Amino acid sequence: MKRSEINAAIARAKAVLDQYDFHLPPFAFWTPEAWREKGAECDAIRVCKLGWDVTDFASGDFDHVGLTAFTIRNGGAAAPYRRTVYCEKAMIVGEGQRTPMHCHAVKQEDIICRAGGNLVCQVYNRRRDGSLDDSEVSVSLDGVAHRVAAGHCFVIRPGESIRLTPFLYHEFYAEPGSGVAIVGEVSSVNDDASDNLFLAAPGRFPAIVEDEPAIHLLCNEY
């Protein structure tokens, strides 16, 4: 991705969050210059990869396959960070902008449509060979159990949520015509280095073409 694309995505995300009165912590607004002045007191942010995450999943088409997220809190494998056993994210999903089909081996997550447009979430079980299973899927929406056909698309409206358990394949996007969706994630610890199992194996973090200065560093750039 070009740095200009990343900067624009972050600027749009901040504007949408402001529109819905959703406030991020102070480090969301630190510049690269400010980061150079930060010491060991900020190690939890660095080690647990809190902060901005903008990716096109190596698609080269961010508007259609991409995600802008901000990790607000997270744990880690090393002491003392392993005492934190949860993660929280805010995600900004454009209309029709897909996060590709994937699952997690360890992480369980609640995906919550907070405001704006509706979120569409398609689900499949995963076979041992990593392919899509055609068996019925069991999933909980806001504490209510559902059994649906493989490939079912749930429409998650503001205030509603879906629970995604380990090895449950899912792909999501904002429903076209409904607007940009502000989406929350509450989960067990997030580990992007080892716990993402993509159906089509795209890249998780993009290679960046530095066509302009960064307005904010991404969570993997500290």
User: What letter represents residue 203's amino acid?
Assistant: G
- Rounded CA gap, 215 and 56, in Å? 18
- Give the pLDDT confidence score for residue 153 in this predicted structure: 98
Which residues of the chain are under the pLDDT cut of 50?
none
- Give the pLDDT confidence score for residue 106 in this predicted structure: 97
Nearest to 106 by CA among 8, 26, 217, 194: 194
Residue with tokens 């990869």: 49
Extract the tokens encoding 149: 């056909």
- Rounded CA gap, 150 and 152, in Å? 6
Nearest to 91 by CA among 3, 13, 12, 202: 13
- Give the pLDDT confidence score for residue 96 in this predicted structure: 85
Extract the tokens encoding 51: 């902060």
Phi/psi region, residue 218 (left: phi>0; alpha: psi -120 to 50; beta: rest), is beta
Q: pLDDT (tens digit, 9 = 90+) per residue, 141-159?
A: 999 999 999 999 999 999 9
| Domains defined along the chain, listed by start | 3-198 (2.60.120.10)
- Give the pLDDT confidence score for residue 203 in this predicted structure: 83
- Give the pLDDT confidence score for residue 204 in this predicted structure: 86
- Give the pLDDT confidence score for residue 132 in this predicted structure: 98
